[in-house]
Every structure is written in C-alpha cells, then in structure tokens.
Structure 1
Amino acid sequence: MKTFDYIIVGAGSSGCALANRLSQDPEVNVLLLEAGGSGDSPIIKTPAGLIISLIFGTFNWCYNALNQRTLNNRAIFCPRGKALGGSSAINGMLYIRGQRQDYDLWAEQGNKGWSFDELLPYFKRSQHQERGASEYHGVGGPLNVANGRSNQPISADFIKAGTEAGVPFNPDFNGAAQEGIGWYQTTQKDGQRHSAAAAYLTPVMNRPNLTVITGATTAKVVFEGKKAVGVEYLIKGLRHSATAETEVILSGGAFGSPQLLLLSGVGPKAKLDEHGIEQVHELPGVGENLQEHVDVVRVWKDKTNSAIAMFRPKGIWHLAKDAVNYVIHRRGFLASTMAESGAFVRSSEDVERPDIQYHFVPAAMDDHGRSLRYNLSYGASIHTCVLRPYSRGSVSLASSDPTADPIIDLNMLSDSRDMDTLKAGLRKLDEIVSAPSLAQRLSYSIIPKQEPASDQELEQFIRAKANNIYHPVGTCKMGNDEMAVVDDELRVHGLEGLRVVDASIMPTLISGNTNAPSMVIGEKAADMILAARVADTQEQVA
C-alpha cells in the first residue's frame, strides 16, 4: 500500500497532460496508472507505423462494438491505444481543435469556464506551433504541431479539385475559421509521432514526485462512504492497492472511465445488480450519451498508378526509397499521417457551419486498413465524416471482471438526421471528385463497385460500409441535468475526491478530431485541481 496526493487512472491524452501539470509542484505526489505498456517502440514513433498499430493488438485494445442494427448488423472495430499516450500513440496525428461554437455550446449548457475564449489560452499553452505564435497559436508548449512531411502529389490534387469545385482553400483549420480545404497539420516532431506521452510525460519521467506504472489494470476505486480514497489495480494477475490523500482522477477515455465507475459501484443500480456489484452511488448517466463520428469511405482507382500501393512492385520500390529518405531526413511516406489533406464543408447552403469533414488518403483501403488485398490496388480513399451526430450510444459492463472488454453500443445512424447529413456529404464529395484535378487521375469506383444511382442505393451503400473514425466521447458527460456525471469542475456528482478528466466529459462531440481537445481537458483540469488545493490549504491555515 502506497500513498499519493493524486492517483490518475489512464495515461492517455488527458492523463499525460494532467500528470505533467500536477507534478510541476514538487510538493504534490502523483501516481499515474496505465494498463498498456510503455509504447517505446519504433512502430509508434514512426508515423506510418499506425497501419501496423491498427491491424495488430500490441499497442491496440482492438475493441469491437456490438453488431449495429442500423448498419446491417455489423460489428464495428473500435481501436484504442494500449500504451503510454493512449490513443495518441496510434492515431492519425491530425491536430484539430473543432469550432468555436462547439465549446460555446458547452458553456451555454451551464458549464462555466468551458467557452472557446476561455479554452483558447489552454490550446495555446499546450502547443509549440512550428509556424510561430499568433492570435490562435502558441509556442513553447509541450505538444509540437508541424506541417506534414509527406505531401503526396495526389493529396495535393484533392486540394486543387476542391477549390475547382468551389471549396475555399484554408491554410489553417485551427485559425479564424475552419471551413475550407487544405493540408492537415500534425502532432509530429522532427518527422516522428509526438504523442501525449512524448509531449507531456517522457520529458518529466525523472521527477521524484511522479510515479508511472504500466501494465496496471485498475480494478476498482475504493470508497469510504461517499469519498474516493484510493484504487485497487492488477499487475500480472496480482492485486495491489494505492491510497489517494486528495483525489482519484479517472482518465480512461470514453470506454474506460465509465467501465471503471460501474466496476466501482457508481452508476444505475439495475446495471450493477446484473453483475453482483454493490452500489456506492446512484448515477444514471454513467456510460450513456456515447457519441462518435460516423464515417464512410469511398475508394477510386488511380489510373496514373502513382498513388501508394505497398504490395505492388512499384510500391515496394518506392517504399524502400522512402525508408532511406525517412532514416536520413525523416521525410517521405513513412512520415505520413495517411490522411494528409482534407476539408471541412457544409452539407448544404442552409447549414451555418461545417458539418462534414473529409480525410483524403492517397491509397486504397477498406476495413480500417485491415483488408490487405487493397494494397495491391492503386487508388485513393476519401472518408466522409458527420461532425455533429445526433445518434447516441452507450457503454456498459460485460462482467465484473476488470480485464473484460466493456460492451460498446455506438448506435450510429439511429437518428435519421445523421443519415441525411452523410448522404449530403457524399453527394458533395462527388462534386470534388468530378473536378478536373481529380477527374484526370481517378477512373472507376472500387468501393462501391458501382456508383450509387439513386438515393436508395446510396443509403444501402452507407448501411453496408459506414463505420467510426475513433472519436468516442460523452459517456461521463459534464453538466447539471439528471444524466450528467460530472460538474464543470469535473467532479463526479454526489461523491467526494473523485473526478473524471478525459473526452468522456464532453457533453457534445466537437467538430473534428478529438486528440488536441483531450489534452486541453487535462490542462484545464490541472489548473482547477491545483486551485482547489491552494484554497483548501488557505482554509486550513485560516
């Protein structure tokens, strides 16, 4: 049994930022528990290694969501990072904040301190923007944000085609406005992945007041009455305990944090009774309100045979040359995020702000890249993603075993408005693909094999192929209504000494990739926690 001031469960994007900021005070002792490994691997450090991480389970929990009734009863693959850095260790490294209105909506819902203007200083504090400081960007922060080092010609053609179709060029999706088409910036440093662990954790691992334990699966939060006082965790099947003098903080993500709350007796009694778990506190919203960006990928044949096709002789030759280029210059395909260029567009003129995101991949792919036969085809893949879905899912327990995967029900496209938006986004994509710069490169459709000729055929294609794009949020939502799990200080309602700090607290999904906002949640939470610590100390002195 060891005692710490704070115990953080989960070393993902939020947890790493939180551990760094809390341990800056040498008087504060922090324990950070991570179920995955150290992640000290060239597969993680090399950006294109994300292909391996998606396919294999070494650094990936490889969850599968329930068969989706709205998606032809297909199970949905839900990769999550299994290493220090969490999913920032295996993600596509795109640096996107979302839209001002996303955060202003949180504040309008009664979450004080969470408007865009109040969060912008945290975004700036967290980053080192290689382009330099500006109204929207900071320098000197832990997280390196850089231009991509692998700009494939066909990715540039996507941008040209977009402008030809009337989409404005946008040099900075995180600037004054998000709408437009352009190159994504990346969380890379010197051509290598710059995960939350690389940014926030690795530089401070030698702090004597920070203890990091990997391979540790947290089994439960320990309570005395309604106060969290510690945790129990498993390492190679052996049970260990740690005590928190001040707080236990859950940073396990949208799947892990609600799972641990339920395992600890926090949640709806009916869900707990089903697994013989004694209830500590009734909280109906635990595991509810799950949101995910529903996404569908279309693939076209590249008739110039210049796109990436790793299993073709030409592709193997280019990959060999790029390997040398990467070793010497940290440039080329091995530095690729896969989604090098993209766009944020409005599905119709009636929509006030972008509700569709495109990710352009200069290669043919299917099933999260796991269908390896597509590496024999020269092609281009374009993701169409609904940014603000109305559909809601849930996370629940499969058993009382903390090592068992949770039950994930994404429930995507259960709200018909999401289907309407996705269809509109695909139709708008047709305009871009038909523009001269892409029309001269792309010939026929690979997925689907035939162009959908009617609205019904388009919907059938979507139900057969729609998937998620790895941005789950909302299962411990912040707010004051009966389904809220935490307040605007991220304290769990009705309990003491317990907070949730990760993407699960988002009341609504932001309009873009969730990695950067997750780090900002950790940044802001650290300030709130340290401020509460100072206030408590002053009160004790008084």
Structure 2
Amino acid sequence: MPCSEDTRSYDYLIVGGGPAGSACAARLAAAFPQRQIALLETGPAKASWLSRMPIAVAALVPWRNRHNYAFRTVPQPGLNGKRGLQPRGRGLGGSSLINAMIYLRGQSEDYDSWEKNGADGWGWNQVLPIFKEMECNTRGANTWHGDSGPWKVADLEIPSSCTQAFVAAGVESGIEFNADFNGAHQAGVGLYQVTQHNGQRFNAAQAFLKPQPQNLKILTGVQVTRVLIVEGRATGVELADGRRFSTRREVVLCAGVYGTPQLLMLSGIGPADHLHSLGIRVHKDCPEVGKNLQDHVDITISRAVDDKGLLGLVPSLLPQLLTGLLSYLKRRAGLLSTNVAEAGAFVSTRPETSRPDVQFHFCVGIVDEHGRRIHAKRGFSVHICGLRPKSRGLVRLQSADPRHPPLIDPHYLSEPEDLQTLVDGIRIARKLLLAPSMSKYSGRSLHGLERLEGEELRAAIRLHADTIYHPVGTCRMGSDPSAPLDPQLRLRGIAGLRVADASVMPTLISGNTQVPCAMIGVRAAMFIQQEEYQHGD
C-alpha cells in the first residue's frame, strides 16, 4: 500500500538519496512489497535543467548551488596550505546530478583486495553480477555488461575531433587502445562511456526511483540531524525541524563519505574523546568513524589552443552554442550533450606495476582550479590522478550543530609515494601530447607543467593539485573488530543500523566512484533481504 503523508513510522528508513540510497531504496521496495520504506533527502526532488544538460557540468561543479554543497577542506600542508574544494551532490540522485557521468567500476583486483583484507563476500565475482544487473548498456549484453537494468549507459554522441586526436596520440605513444574500460581489462586509452540517455544526463534517481514504488515514501527538503538510539538500538531519526521518524526494523545511512560520519558522530557514535569535547553523549566509542579518508588527487596539464573542436569563453563560441542549442532541443545531440571529460587512459607508471596506477581524464576545455579560474581562451586539459593513494585523512565535527559542515582533512600528498606517482604520470602525459596526432593542438601550456622537472615540478604539483572528486572510506567495512562496519555493512555495537555509500569502502577503487556506490546500495538491500529470510520474517 502507498505510504500516507502523515506516516512517521516505517519498516526501513534510508537517509540520503544519492546513487547508493536510490539503489538501496528501490531494491528494498521491490523485495518487500508489504513493507513501508521511507527515503529522506535534504536536497530537492527534481533535477534542474542545468543538471540534465551534460555540458553544464562545467557550471555545476565549481560553485555552491542547489545541487552542490561545495564543501572546503581544512588547509592542506601537502598543497601549500590550500583549502581544497569538495563538490558533493545535493538532491535526489546525489553526486550523479553534478558529475561528468563517467561509467566506470574500477579494477577487479580492487574488490578482490577488499575480500582478501577482511571484507568477506566483496570479491570481484560477487560484485560483477550486480554491476551487470544494474546496467542498460546501448552496446548490448555480454560477459561484462547488461542491457536490461535500470541505469542507462551509452557512448558519447559525437566526441570532439581533439578527443579523437588524444586517443590516437595515446596509441602512438605506446598505450594500447581500449574500447571498453569496463571489459576484460582496464589498461589503455579510449573514450569513456557515460550514464546518459538520448543525449541527457541519466542520474541515479531517474535510474532507480522511476517509476516510484507504491510502498516507498520519498521525502525531500528534510535534513536528518541524528539517529535516535535506545538501549543500543537505532529506533529512528530526528529532523532539523524537530520531527521524528521511527523504524520497525533498520536505519540505513546513505549520506555519503562526509555526511555519514557526520551523522554518526552527531548521534553519539564515533571517537569518544572528540564527542565529549563537543558535549555529545556517547552511545558507542568508535575511534575509526571519520578516519581512513582517501581521495584521488589530481593535477592538470592545460593548453590554450584556438580550435573550434574545443570549448572556451571566446566570442567565436557563441554561434556554436546557438547551433548546439538547436541541435540539443531537436535531437538531444550536438555540443551541449558533451560531458566535457570525453576520453581517458589508464596507465602504469613503472614496469613492475602489474596494473594501472594512474588515470587520465581528457577534457575539451581548460579546467583550472575546478573551472573557478576563468581563461578567455579555447583549450583542453589532461587530468592526471594516482589511483591508489597511500595518504589517509579524516572527517571530524566542527561543532555539535548539524547546520555546520564537517571538518574535512584529506591529508593530501602526505605520503611521498603519492607525489611521485603524479610526477611519473605527468611524464607519461607529456609523451602522449608530443605524439603526431596532437601536433595540431600544440598551443600554449598553462602553469609550466610540461617543461618543469625535479623540485620545481614537485612544487608546481603542490601548488595546483586538488581532488578529482572520489573521496571514500570514512566508515570502512571489515572483519577486524576495529572496523566500524562488518562485511554486511552493519554498524558494530548498534543494532538496527547499517551504512551503504562510499564511506564503507576499505580502500579506494581504481576509477570513478558513482557506479560502485550504487552497487553498494544494492548489496545492502540484498543483505537485509537475506537476513529477513533467515529469520523467517
């Protein structure tokens, strides 16, 4: 039966409507048509027209807006004291509302490593079927892909001529061509597939929450401020307006890598000394909540190039935009359907590295300081990030007031190996950009990264590097007792409380994180389903 407007008691409460929360809610609703489920999301219900238009990622990421929290880190010593930007999605669909829509899963070894190190049941053979089940790929079904799932995956309509030159140059520089980064192996250079349908962004809420299940109540514009805990059990949640919602079974936190540890700590679950210092009653001393923060640090080589296949704030772009708008309105194709980050590569920086440890994103415009620093020039950018960083950061509360954003301290480049990986990645990118197919796009290099060496290069990296938006790990799962979550994503020491989002990842996957987050949401629902069947409920 549909949930009534005034119902405040549900079988399952899901907090957060990003990829994980949307997928978890849909799976639970389908598995238990007799149960009442509520999904609570702070942001808006509907995606704006800017969010739906792929090219508008360039406007959504740099600034705080209705779909972007745009958090800032504390000053980072590894980045010359910079306070880095941390875009995070807000609204049904979460960060899938503002990202570059890149469809990636990571490497099979990422998941096998999780299992080997204590996340029982999370190996590649266990997660691949879920990835395939979620996917509706325009290329069709095969060993690696599905074509009947809810999330639309497609090739870009018309990649830029410069994008195609980048891929050709990669092959010329010795990198193998890879037509499918989610296929038999990840290594190589090629075009990204995207979560797009008919030229428009296809976010996680569209994928999993439409049509809305009858037994799922979706509440937007509501901020959960804490989980209610009675005698060691989660019994519901409290909202900023003072309302309370109770659960007959479980609360599932899907509030993200920053929102979930913040909510746990506000609820009295986290490092006891930190909570005591803020006057928060401790329900569970859990020192690792908020720790283990990992992120892909990114450095960008950008060139100003006067070519009509590239974007830039120049007068000659206006007629292209007008033509592109007509094409977009008529056929959902053309210039406005680009995700900007059209191509990429996965490379190994050392011969002894058995699998890629660096990822490139090729963007058909200059992206400087996340696009916050404007250049009135056409051009392109090659983003270079180390895939498996050693640096570890943390999230803490800045106050007991839930209206204050959390303190985010990624400890970027605190481990020397992470800096060296970026140095090595830049050298590979330089070689690619010198290949014949890129000769037409020589242009003027920004920031000097193409010519610097030694300590000058390291200093330039520290000056210009920042996130490429893949933070994870702040509420990790594992079999060891210090892990906040067990491998079924249950919080240790508090009954009826589970977590399902990027925070559960023990280590960062080798790629973009939106699709793995949805997989985690589905698995959480599956664990709940299995437990209900085992208990005969």
Scaled to the shorter chain, the TM-score interval is over 0.9
Q: Structure 1 CA distance, aligned partners of 2:158 and 2:219?
A: 35
How far is the alpha carbon of 1:533 from its aligned partner? 1.4
How far is the alpha carbon of 1:308 from its aligned partner? 2.9
Listed one character per residue, the Cα deviations across residues 494-521 of structure 1 (whole Å, up to 9, x for unaligned) are 1100000011000000000001100100
Q: Structure 1 CA distance, aligned partners of 2:377 and 2:47?
A: 33
1:5 aligns with 2:35: no
Which residue identity is paired with 1:85? G
What's the C-alpha RMSD, in Å, of the aligned pairs? Answer: 1.2
Alignment match of 1:335 (pick from 334, 337, 351): 337
Q: Structure 2 CA distance, aligned partners of 1:202 and 1:80?
A: 23
Which residue identity is paired with 1:407? L
Identity %: 40
Listed one character per residue, the Cα deviations across residues 215-273 of structure 1 (whole Å, up to 9, x for unaligned) are 11111100111100100012xxx211000100001001100000000000001111101
After TM superposition, the structure 1 = structure 2 runs for residues 34-433 of structure 1, keeping only pairs within 5 Å, are 34-54=41-61, 55-204=63-212, 207-234=213-240, 238-302=241-305, 304-372=306-374, 374=375, 376-433=376-433
Q: TM-score normalized by structure 2?
A: 0.97
Equivalent residue number for residue 490 of structure 1: 489
Instruction: Name the SS for the 1:97 alignment partner.
Output: coil
Q: 1:295 to 1:420 in 2, by over 3 A?
A: same
How far is the alpha carbon of 1:293 from its aligned partner? 0.3
Retained in 1: the 8 A contact 2:127–2:519? yes
How far is the alpha carbon of 1:75 from its aligned partner? 0.5
Q: Structure 2 CA distance, aligned partners of 1:221 and 1:15?
A: 16
How far is the alpha carbon of 1:471 from its aligned partner? 0.6
Q: Structure 1 CA distance, aligned partners of 2:17 and 2:278?
A: 27
How far is the alpha carbon of 1:274 from its aligned partner? 1.5
Retained in 1: the 8 A contact 2:301–2:449? no
Give the count of matched residue pairs: 529
Retained in 2: the 8 A contact 1:452–1:461? no
Instruction: Name the SS for the 1:166 alignment partner.
Output: coil
Retained in 2: the 8 A contact 1:387–1:512? yes
Retained in 2: the 8 A contact 1:253–1:502? yes
Q: Structure 1 CA distance, aligned partners of 2:55 and 2:432?
A: 26
Retained in 2: the 8 A contact 1:223–1:230? yes
Q: Structure 2 CA distance, aligned partners of 1:37 and 1:401?
A: 22
Q: Structure 2 CA distance, aligned partners of 1:361 and 1:501?
A: 31
Equivalent residue number for residue 522 of structure 2: 523
Equivalent residue number for residue 3 of structure 2: none
Q: Which moved more, 1:207-216 or 1:4-13?
A: 207-216
Retained in 2: the 8 A contact 1:218–1:231? yes
Retained in 2: the 8 A contact 1:285–1:482? no
Q: Structure 1 CA distance, aligned partners of 2:456 and 2:221?
A: 47
Retained in 2: the 8 A contact 1:145–1:187? yes
Instruction: Name the SS for the 2:103 alignment partner.
Output: coil
Which residue identity is paired with 1:186? V
Alignment match of 1:17 (pick from 23, 37, 62): 23
Instruction: Name the SS for the 2:391 alignment partner.
Output: coil
Q: Structure 2 CA distance, aligned partners of 1:450 and 1:382?
A: 11
Q: Structure 2 CA distance, aligned partners of 1:17 and 1:369?
A: 31
Retained in 1: the 8 A contact 2:430–2:450? no
Q: Structure 1 CA distance, aligned partners of 2:66 and 2:522?
A: 29
Q: Which moved more, 1:259-268 or 1:109-118?
A: 109-118
How far is the alpha carbon of 1:450 from its aligned partner? 6.6
Q: Which moved more, 1:154-163 or 1:434-443?
A: 434-443
Retained in 1: the 8 A contact 2:41–2:91? yes
Equivalent residue number for residue 28 of structure 1: 35
